[in-house]
Amino acid sequence: MKILILSPYPNKIIKTIEKSGDTYEIYLDKIKLSFLEEKDIDFIISYGYQHIIQSEIIQKYKNSIVNLHISYLPFNKGSHPNLWSHLENTPSGISIHQIDRGIDTGGIICREKIFIDIEKHTFRTSYELLKSKLEILFEQNWKKIKNRDYEVNLPLEHGTFHLRKEGIELLSLFSEGWDTNIKKAIYETNNFKNRES
């Protein structure tokens, strides 16, 4: 099977794919259906990919395209999920889901809640922790994902969604940005809200 990896950090994904005997291509630009046909791609994995995938690609690869996301979906769909899980007190976690026409709205293949100690972690270190756990979850489930040997989970929770610019604006309020301690950031955010009201 030939896999297209859409990711700026593909190393652990590559190791898992190589172990399973599959081949791969890595790509970061916006993909077109003609490119996929030319490369004879069988399966697509998106992980930190910054482009919206065209609906004709989603249709053609309906059960052969997944996304790895560092949130406990359906909470924190969209951008900066690790930031919002703490500031809005929603579950921290990781998910692998099918890609549909929405943003992080496809059927969930597997997900896991992850405890993050907010006194010890910054947004950056917790992001790295979630990435590491997500890569392990992918490794544990790749065989059943590529064989479509799973049941899709459509959770009843309503969930949340945020745009990239919302996260950038909020992070700019913290003097240490991504390196801000999470507990300190929660305290500062509550102060921002109190000053506004």
User: pLDDT per residue over 121-156, tens digit each?
Assistant: 999 999 999 999 999 999 999 999 999 999 998 877
Least confident of 6-20, 117-131, 153-167: 153-167
For the cut 90, the answer to whether the pLDDT of residue 21 exceeds it is yes
pLDDT of the residue at 154 = 82
Provide the whole-model pTM: 0.92
What are 46-80's pLDDT values in tens digits? 999 999 999 999 999 989 999 999 999 999 999 99
Tell me if 47 sits within 8 A of 70, measured CB to CB: no
Return the structure tokens found at 51: 């482009």
Q: How far is CA 135 from the centre of its chain?
A: 11
Q: Is 118 left (phi over 0), alpha (psi -120 to 50) or beta?
A: alpha
175: confidence class by pLDDT, cuts 50, 70, 90? confident
